[in-house]
Chain A
């Protein structure tokens, strides 16, 4: 198709106007997406929260007032002080600035979230495509294993894995990644099954396209929307799960500035020193809320058929 249109166009012009013309339909749909998305208050709130936390991830170490407080500094003379002008969120039991630790905790949580979701994608998407395309015993095997994994609440399975490997942030990441991939297998398998019988895939096969070509040019591009939606939701949920492991005492270990671990120490200082566990909890809540709303908003524009209204 592109060969034919090039033949009729005299000389390909260069420049922005030309680029715009060639991508007119893509640009139009992008504008529509942006319009729909920006009209939804909750989607924009989600985007705003996610962008805010991403900003904290990027510039956190340069804006926090007491960077050494995230590395195990001890200032017992100012321990457990209430929030004031110097220590916005108060101080903890060894005199560390809680604002500093919450802001730097963003980095820890986002790292965990990104790695867990990335590993889940790398394992889950290829398995889903293989299961969807192959059929037969291969599909049965992959899907039954997936079913078994999905039949145990992820956090409990992760708990068992960490119990074997020992507590710590790396093991927590490993454990969460190990329980996170089956969701993607199920998503991509059903999507691949549906796409496999679409006329355009049949047509591609009829003109001699190989399996690799069909997977990379026809199946994968059509899986991008649901993957983006699920990955956005999962970023929030993985951060929540990591904080949960931290709270139990099996995730990141103090003095590492991890939100869940901070709450688990802070709870022993309730009710008098309420700020200790309040601010890290608020950070988890707002992060997860942001990713959830963003995922919802993305679903509404990318995948309108499955949206809930």
Chain B
């Protein structure tokens, strides 16, 4: 097992270097001068030269890559031109909000998707199955940002049930940080009214962000449940007179959950990507909004930094799934 983990960790490291190489290449394929790109559209010639010096952009390409690589690995992601702030510092500040949103969205997708997938499998090819299929196909096809706008329009503006955007009301003070996750901090500090307010703010963006993952979870869980429900041990359980509910919700579900779990892990990365669409709609102060605002302003280093952070989180999630799989299924360890 230790060897298995070590090998996977090594692969993770290589993938990260590969990702940094891709980002480096992207910044150099731009027509014109990478220093000018890094310095932004309004830079004077002196500023471009300062950037060129600072990032070693007058050196040969391999040396430049080495400088970039060592900088990134040391946590130096450059500076924003717009704000002159340190990108790493910014990302650390915005990441908790994104993390909190993704976690709640994933929780929603699992809590809704797993039962729906189960029901669809049990009522296969009947009305309920078709209705659930419509939900899952629609969740893929609905543009997340448009779904967000629809939710704002109906739930916030027409019905007034939930707030339009942001993490908390304008007048509410954030709980003193412990984990920097507002929901968790509010609970830990015993500020239940703040918790309720934060929860009200996070629901709509989380629903919008969870749509594609919901579809994927329903699909996988349905297919796996159908497969499992045909196996011998289910027939045996039936013959023993065990209730249908227990068979489906305990015996079958437990076996169907492993592929579903893998899908959930994979979806974390995609959700992080989805934040670039959803956070802007809901004024959610996370890295998605940060990346988009920087991209629109041709502020290049923050976009690169956010992409690297999202890519690395995605790789890390996959790494953890691999480890979990190896732990659950010893055959996979042997195969490596």
Contact = CB atoms under 8 A, between A and B. Distances in A.
B200 interface: no
Of A154, A249, A267, which is in contact with the most chain B CB atoms at under 10 Å from its CB?
A: A267
B295 A151 contact: no
A236 B141 contact: yes
A147 B296 contact: no
Interface string A285-309: 1101100110010000000000011
A220 to B, nearest CB: 29
A80 B276 CA distance: 29
Nearest to B314: A151
A173 interface: no
A265 interface: no
A233 to B, nearest CB: 9
B137 A292 contact: yes
A309 B226 contact: yes
B15 A147 contact: yes
Nearest to B226: A309
A281 interface: yes
Interface stretch (B18-26, B70-78, B186-194, B245-253): B18-26
Interface stretch (B1-9, B151-159, B175-183): B151-159
Interface string B5-49: 000000000110011011100110111000001000000000000
B225 to A, nearest CB: 11
B78 to A, nearest CB: 13
A163 interface: yes
Given A156-B311, A293-B137, A244 B30 contact: no
Contacts of B295: 159-160, 162-163, 248, 250
B149 interface: yes
A151 B15 contact: yes
A144 B19 CA distance: 11
Contact of B149 (A153, A162, A167, A267): A267
Contacts of A156: 272-273, 276, 291, 306-307, 310-311
B303 A153 contact: no
Contacts of A163: 294-295, 298, 300, 303
Contacts of A151: 15, 19, 269, 311, 314-315, 318
Interface in B101-138: 124, 133, 137-138
Contact of B141 (A164, A288, A309): A288
A240 B15 contact: no
Interface residues of B, number: 59
A274 interface: yes
B208 interface: no
A59 interface: no
A271 B157 contact: yes
Given A166-B298, A243-B143, A267 B307 contact: no
Given A250-B295, A308-B219, A152 B137 contact: no
Of B146, B272, B281, which is in contact with the most chain A CB atoms at under 10 Å from its CB?
A: B146
B140 interface: yes
A284 interface: yes
Interface string B230-273: 00000000000000000000000000000000000000011011
A144 B22 CA distance: 12
A122 interface: no
Interface in A141-191: 144-145, 147-149, 151-157, 159-167
Given A148-B18, A153-B270, A165-B30, A247 B145 contact: yes
